Amino acid sequence: MTIIYQGRRLSVELRTVDLPNGRSKETIVVHPGGAVAMLPCDGDDCYLIRQFRPAISDYIYEVPAGTMEDGELPEETASRELIEETRMRSDLLIPRGLIMTTPGFTDEVIHLYEARNLSPAADFEPDEDEVIEVVRLPLKEAEMMARDGRIIDAKTIALLFRCIQERS
């Protein structure tokens, strides 16, 4: 194992793996650390964010999300990120499983939550490098946006459909 890059939150490793067929392969693995994503819901409505993403030089609709700090539990990250990105807090975080984003090259896991019992957060402190607009819309409309391609973010699509499935 050789670390090719080590950043504050992300590392890139070159490793040799033994495959189930008896062969070996050299591969690159990206380690971004743990993350969370939340779908804030209020009755039949939900909140998404419209955020500028520099990697694609465009805005996308997505659920609030963020990376876990060292020693932070997923629920703690979810509560913190919900406040930072939506100016709301939740008294009820319902686990909706997890996803592996792209296991072909990364071990990233995102813990999914539905956030309910929302209230305004007085201690809101936005990250200065994020450009975010909070959007309230019916959950059914968010579902249609995921189905027709207006929502293209994978974590958002997965979490929307998990929450919708739980309501059925």
Tokens read off for 141 = 């409309």
Contact of 48 with 156, CB cutoff 8 Å: yes
CA separation for the pair 26, 125 (Å, rounded): 43
Choose the catalytic residue: 62, 81, 108, 128.
Answer: 128
Q: 3-state class of 150 per DSSP?
A: coil
Active site residue 128: yes
In 10 A of CB 118, how many CB atoms? 17
Output DSSP code: residue 22: S
How many whole angstroms separate alpha carbon 11 and alpha carbon 86?
A: 29
Diameter of the chain by CA atoms? 57
What are the catalytic residues? Answer: 128
